[in-house]
Amino acid sequence: GTARAHIAATPATPGGTPGWHDEHAHQTVLQQHVVFFDPDGDGVIWPLDTFWCFYAHGLNFFLLGSVFAVFVIRPTST
């Protein structure tokens, strides 16, 4: 079987995000991650997309975490 995660539980919503399952029930976990990292939906995960997604997750300590993600993680994903 294919791994699937459709609950999207957080400390604020332990039962899951309302509506998440209905919107993402057809996607694998990998597809859900790709959709998250491609917020404009153009089919390409640009370095700026990577930066903003990591920044949104709180990696903003002087922006070093987000810059690290752009210059270290991005070149390895060819």
Q: Where are the domains of the chain?
A: 1-37, 41-78
Q: What is the pTM of this model?
A: 0.58
CA 42 to the chain's CA centroid: 15
Kindly tell me if the per-residue pLDDT of 78 is higher than 60: no
Two tokens at 41? 């939906």
Decide: 22 and 46 in contact? Cβ < 8 Å.
Answer: no
The tens digit of pLDDT for each residue in 19-68 reads 877 888 888 888 888 888 898 999 888 888 887 887 787 766 556 666 66
